[in-house]
């Protein structure tokens, strides 16, 4: 990437760009070879994690292209609501978005795979699948049906199970609760008798406070602390098997993408990978300290989900997965075959690699 940085930061030669026609809002401003894009997000302005990542990405790309591509970021609600980002980019009201694909499973359920699935792959495994296991080609095919192209651009890493206004002692305790949980993880919980709703992060606190929902998952300690959920509920559960690690997306309008000069495409794609590393590391670095704050300063009650619940949730997920295979189209089936083939291979290695190392670390090393 040194060459890309060098070309971008020294202001590479400016070339003309042919831009596909769109709506008045969508047409990028081009002045003396400079292109201006609009990015919409599903996050509040500068919200820790996604909100700050979107701004950082725009700054990185602007600098690396020597100002040839500048991206103006619109937080959720500034141009379109959080859950309308997909439509805005598809129709050209915006040029790109920072969000996560399982918000769009109403378009096609298989899109959730590009965020996460219950008991699925970790962040690192998912990225390996996208880059080296055929996942990106399948994602391109899926998003191509909507005139979009997606890039992975951030990850939450390991997550928590969520916040509950009562203790969960058995699987039966989730029956009748109303929980904010998106994606296929929510579909599995519905089979255990919960009522599932999807809300953008800017609306979750108010829903918890008013009693409109009884529980929510969001991310992990760092982002959950920023959201303030500890102010209205105290039971904080782990593990987050419903979402092993959410992948964020930087998705672009395909016609706008095709119109970019090749070197700017390279810089943009590199910027997505760079932001993925940045945001993943930021979550990993921040979660431990945030968890201490939640427990010690805000008296949050940390709880582990009982084995009874984990097993019941696993059975429910297998039902959802079977239904998805049976009712899905050819692309859905090919995607699931590819994803789970890669996951099985990774699990065979992680059993003697990462998993056994972590077990050994617990036995042989104590942090004092």
So what's the pLDDT on residue 11?
33
Out of 24-28, 89-93, 132-136, 215-219, least confident range: 24-28
Report yes or no on 71 lying in a domain.
yes
Beta bridge partners of 235: 164, 301
**Among the listed residues 11, 40, 53, 22, the one whose alpha carbon sits nearest the alpha carbon of residue 103:** 40
pLDDT digit string, tens, across residues 39-74:
999 999 999 999 999 999 999 999 999 999 999 999
State the Cα–Cα distance between residues 144 and 89, nearest whole angstrom: 13
Indicate whether 152 belongs to any domain.
yes
pLDDT of residue 364: 87
Q: Judging by DSSP bridges, how do beta strands 195-197 and 178-180 pair with one another?
A: parallel
pLDDT for the residue numbered 206: 98
Residue 9 pLDDT: 36
Q: How far is it, in rounded angstroms, from Cα 198 to Cα 181?
A: 6
- What one-character-per-residue DSSP string does 80-124 give? S-GGGHHHHHHHTSSSEEEE-GGGGTTT-GGGGGGT--TT---HH
Q: Is 271 part of any domain?
A: yes
Q: Does 128 fall in a domain? A: yes
Q: Is the pLDDT of residue 330 over 60?
A: yes
pLDDT at 368: 53
In a domain, 18, yes or no: no
Q: Can you read off the two tokens belonging to residue 43?
A: 């996050």
Residue 82 lies in a domain: yes
Q: Which residues are 35's β-sheet partners? A: 30, 69
pTM over 0.95: no
Owning domain of residue 90: 24-157+245-284
| pLDDT band with cut points at 50, 70 and 90 for residue 367 | low
For the chain, the domain total comes to 1
Residue 28 CA to residue 34 CA, distance in Å, equals: 9
**Tokens at residue 293, please?**
């704050």
Chain segment 279-308, per-residue pLDDT in tens: 999 999 999 999 999 999 999 999 999 999
CA 83/CA 271 separation, integer angstroms: 24
In angstroms, the CA 30 to CA 103 distance is 32
Distances (CA, A) of 231 to 107, 118, 368: 35, 28, 31
CA distance 236 to 257: 42
Residues 228-271 have pLDDT tens digits of 999 999 999 999 999 999 999 999 999 999 999 999 999 999 99
Q: Calculate mean pLDDT across residues 186-209.
A: 98
What pLDDT is recorded for position 33?
A: 80
Q: Judge whether 80 and 94 are in contact, CB under 8 Å.
A: yes
Tokens 């119109």, residue located: 259
Count Cα atoms within 13 angstroms, Cβ side, for 293.
16
Of the candidates 211, 243, 251, 210, the residue with the CA atom closest to the CA atom of residue 224: 243
DSSP 236-299: EEE--TT-S-PEEEEEEEHHHHHHS-HHHHHHHHHHHHHHHHHHHHHHHHHHHHHHHHHHHTT-
**Contact present, 318 and 192 (Cβ < 8 Å):** no
C-alpha 106, offset from chain centre: 16
Q: Indicate whether 21 pLDDT > 50.
A: no
Token digits of residue 177: 């609760």
Give the integer Cα–Cα distance in Å for 119 and 27: 42
The pLDDT score that the predictor gives to residue 51 is 97
Q: What is the pLDDT of residue 19?
A: 32
| 131 part of a folded domain | yes
Which residues sit opposite 69 in a β-bridge?
Answer: 35
What pLDDT shows up at residue 365? 77
Please provide the size of the chain in residues: 368
Whether residue 277 is predicted with pLDDT greater than 90 in this model: the reply is yes
Residue 144's CB is within 10 A of a number of other CB atoms, namely 12
**Residues of the chain above pLDDT 90, percent:** 89
Q: Is residue 75 part of a domain?
A: yes
Q: What is the DSSP letter of 132?
A: H
Supply the CATH number for residue 148's domain: 3.40.190.170
Q: Average pLDDT, stretch 93-118?
A: 97
pLDDT tens for each residue of 153-195: 999 999 999 999 999 999 999 999 999 999 999 999 999 999 9
Please state, for a pLDDT cut of 70, what percent of the chain lies above it.
Answer: 91
């Amino acid at each position: 990437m040194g060459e890309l940085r060098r070309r971008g930061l020294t202001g590479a030669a400016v070339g003309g760009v042919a831009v596909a026609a769109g709506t008045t809002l969508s047409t990028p401003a081009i002045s003396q070879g400079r292109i201006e894009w609009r990015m919409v997000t599903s996050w509040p302005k500068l919200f820790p994690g996604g909100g700050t990542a979107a701004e950082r990405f725009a700054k990185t790309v602007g600098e690396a292209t020597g100002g040839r591509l500048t991206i103006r970021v619109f937080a959720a609600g500034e141009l379109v609501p959080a859950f309308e980002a997909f439509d805005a980019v598809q129709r050209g009201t915006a040029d790109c978005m920072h969000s996560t694909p399982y918000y769009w499973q109403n378009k096609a359920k298989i899109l959730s795979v590009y965020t996460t699935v219950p008991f699925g792959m970790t962040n690192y495994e998912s990225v390996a699948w996208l880059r080296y296991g055929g996942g990106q080609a399948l994602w391109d095919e899926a998003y191509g049906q909507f005139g979009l192209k997606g890039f992975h651009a951030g990850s939450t890493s390991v997550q928590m199970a969520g916040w509950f206004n009562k203790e969960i002692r058995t699987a039966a305790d989730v029956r009748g609760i109303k929980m904010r949980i998106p994606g296929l993880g929510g579909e599995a919980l519905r089979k255990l008798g919960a009522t599932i709703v999807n809300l953008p992060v800017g609306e979750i606190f108010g829903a918890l406070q008013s009693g409109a929902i009884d529980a929510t998952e969001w991310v992990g300690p760092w982002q959950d602390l920023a959201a303030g959920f500890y102010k209205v509920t105290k039971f904080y559960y782990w593990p987050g098997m419903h979402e092993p690690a959410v992948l964020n997306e930087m998705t672009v309008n395909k016609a706008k993408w095709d119109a970019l000069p090749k070197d700017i495409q390279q810089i943009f794609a590199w910027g997505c990978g760079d932001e993925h590393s940045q945001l993943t590391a930021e979550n990993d670095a921040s979660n431990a300290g945030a968890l201490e704050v939640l427990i010690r300063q805000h008296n949050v009650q940390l709880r582990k989900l009982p084995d009874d619940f984990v097993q019941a949730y696993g059975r429910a997920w297998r039902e959802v997965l079977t239904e998805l295979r049976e009712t899905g189209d050819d692309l859905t089936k090919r995607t699931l075959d590819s994803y789970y083939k890669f996951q099985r291979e990774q699990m065979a290695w992680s059993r003697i690699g990462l998993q056994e190392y972590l077990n050994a670390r617990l036995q042989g090393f104590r942090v004092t």
